Every structure is written in structure tokens, then in C-alpha cells.
Structure 1
Amino acid sequence: MISDKMQQMLNEQYNKEVYSAHLYLSMCSYFMDRDLDGFANYFRVQSQEELQHADKQFDYVHDVDGKITILPVEAPPAEFESIIDCFEQTLAHEQYVTKSIYALVKQALEEGDFATHTFLQWFITEQVEEEATVKNLLSKLKMIGDNTSALYLLNDELLQRQLGAEGAE
């Protein structure tokens, strides 16, 4: 059983994961509109991953006799200034999610809720990977600059991305 405070925080985190899925689908649409199918694929898979994260949280809350309350999801932005802007926003968003997960971990430790603390360790590891991946892609995009041939190759590379087991690549 979890505390009311932890249940509330996990509900908020669940909502953030669903928002993340919507944000990444919006980014997918942005790239589809520009015929960058590899970038679109990257963000479609990213959206699916975020829904898997939300599902994990949904199931966990119910496993510990809590309840997920579905909250309204804010509409994400639909336009982005550039490919780099899109990835900079992605990095900022992932860093925001990381801080939110850290707040959950801190609360779990303060409450002595070791089950929730253990559950959240997977998300911490996942966030390290998420941030590192986005930083790497952002670095590549900055190196590419206006080189359309290099952009084509990166687009082709991102087309190969598939959803892995439990939201991992």
C-alpha cells in the first residue's frame, strides 16, 4: 500500500508520461510533414516507449492498492523552428521528466516506501539512457549543419529504430 502523497505523485508522473507520448507524436508529425521518415520513426517509437512507461506506472499503482486517476493531458506544441530545436526541446523535456522521477525517489525514501523506491530504479536507468541518446543525436545534428547528405544518412539510420521489450531499445 502506498501513501496518498505517493499515489498523487505517481498519478502526476503517469500524466507526464502520457503527455510525453503526445509530445513525441507531435514531433513525429512534424517530421512526417517534412518527408523525414527516419526522424518520424524515431519519435513514433519514442511515443510508444512513453506509453509503455505509463503502463508500468499504471500497473504498479494498482499492484500496491492505489488508483490511477486519468487527468487531462495538455496539448503539445505542433510546430518547431528546426530539427535542432525539436531535439533541444526533447532534451529539455527528458531532463524535466528525470527531475520528476528524482522527486518520486526522494519522496519514497522519505516515507520508507522501499517497494516504490525499487520500482523507480528502472525509470532512473531509463532516463540516463534517454538523455544520453538525445544528447548524442543533438551533437550529430550540430555536426551535420546544412549538409543534406549527412542528414539523409542520419534519417536512414533512425528509420531502423524499433520498439524493444519493455520500452528499451
Structure 2
Amino acid sequence: MDAKVYELINDQIRKELYSAYLYLSFADYYEEEGLEGFAHWYEIQTQEERDHALIFRKYLHENGCKVKLQAIDQPDKTFSNHLEPLEAALEHEKYITSTINDIYTAAFEAKDYRTMKFLDWFIEEQQEEEDNAEKQVSRMRLFGSDAKALYDLDRENAARVYAVPSPLANA
């Protein structure tokens, strides 16, 4: 595997684990605000991000590469309203999309077609992640100021079910 591609993938493990840590802090915020459905939503996001890290880890091992785990920064965001974590999530998902794109670019330049194919799943996943985050922001902007509507959104988020990502389910 190309050295740059390897370094970017190995670092992506840290970024995905940070995402999990960040989303767990969002779950804590919502739990403390009494919005258990939103907390549940971000607990599942935490699981998904952890799984993404595991998928990258597995890919490195399958390609004979050593995984070098790195320190994970502590989330430092504080919030003053229910919309702010949702906006932070959208911003973060766009950032993660850019890092996946950076790996893809490096793989393309190295003519690493196997890694490009591997990343196709993540490219589709990031489109879904950004779409979900945008919907959360839109819904909170539209309905978050109405107590009954916020209650309904919270209940809707509480119904979310965790699903093992296909790259891990097929393992």
C-alpha cells in the first residue's frame, strides 16, 4: 500500500473514533436536557462511528498493514440551545466527507484501485450521514421552538434502530 494512503487511512481511524467520542458528548448534552430520543439518536451515531473506525482498521489488517492507534482529543464543544449540536454534527460530517475524499484522491494518485473501491462504501455513507444531519437541523429549525413538536421529534429519534454496517456484517 502506498505510504500516503496508509497514513491517511490509519489517521482516519482516529478521526472516526473522535467522531464517536464527539457524538457521545452530544448524547450527554441531550440526556441532560431531558431529550432522551435525541440522546438515543447520538448514541447510535456513536456506535456507527466506532464501526467506521473498525472497518478502516480491518482494511489495513487485510492489506498487511500495521495499525498505529493514536490519541483521541477530548470534545470541547458546549451548547446553549438544542440546535447547536445538530449544526455541529452537520459541520463535522462535512469535515469527515472531506477526509474520505482526501484518502480517495491519494489512492487515485497512487493508482490504488482496491482502496478506491473500498472507499466507495464510505462515499455513499457520507452522503447519507450529511443528509441525515441536514434533516435534523431543518426539523429543529422548523419545529424546535414548539414544545409539542419538539416532543414528537424526540420520540421519532427514540425509535431509531442500530444496524451493523454492511462491511462489518459481511465479515
- Structure 1 length-normalised TM: 0.95
Aligned pairs, number: 167
Aligned match of 2:6: 7
Pairwise CA distance, 1:167: 6.9
Q: Is the 8 A contact 1:7 1:67 kept in 2?
A: no
User: Partner letter of residue 126 of structure 2?
Assistant: Q
Q: Which string of whole-angstrom CA distances, capped at 9 and with x for unpartnered residues, describes residues 65-116 of structure 1?
A: 1121010000012521211111110000000000000010011010000110
The answer to whether the Cα contact below 8 Å between 1:52 and 1:167 also exists between their aligned partners in 2 is: no
Mapped partners of 1:111, 1:146: distance in 2: 50
Gapped regions of structure 1 (runs ≥ 5): none
Instruction: Structure 2: give runs of 5+ residues left out of the alignment.
Output: none
TM superposition shift of 1:145: 3.9
**Aligned residue number for residue 132 of structure 1:** 131
Provide runs of 4+ in structure 1 moved above 6 Å.
none
Secondary structure of the equivalent of 2:30? helix
Q: Distance in 2 between the 1:6 and 1:105 partners? A: 8
CA distance, structure 1, for counterparts of residue 111 and residue 147 of structure 2: 53
Partners of 1:53 and 1:167 within 8 A in 2: no
Whole-Å separation in 2 of the counterparts to 1:123 and 1:53: 8
Tell me how far apart the structure 2 counterparts of residues 123 and 138 of structure 1 sit (CA, whole Å): 22
Instruction: Tell me what 2:44 maps to.
Output: 45
Instruction: Name the CA distance, whole Å, in 1 between partners of 2:23 and 2:166.
Output: 14
Is contact 1:49-1:167 (8 Å) kept? no
Instruction: Answer yes or no: is the 8 Å Cα contact 1:91–1:134 preserved in 2.
Output: yes
Q: Which moved more, 1:42-51 or 1:82-91?
A: 82-91
Once the two structures are superposed, residues 142-163 of structure 1 have per-residue CA deviations (whole angstroms, 9 ceiling, x without a partner) of: 0114201000000000000011
Matched with 1:117 is 116
2: CA distance between counterparts of 1:66 and 1:76? 29
Describe the SS at the equivalent of 1:69: coil
The aligned runs of 1:151-166 (5 Å cut-off) are 151-166=150-165
- Percent identity between the two aligned chains: 34
How many Å apart are 1:165 and its aligned residue? 2.5
Q: Distance in 2 between matches of 1:133 and 1:125?
A: 13
TM-score when normalising by structure 2: 0.94
Aligned letter for 1:107?
A
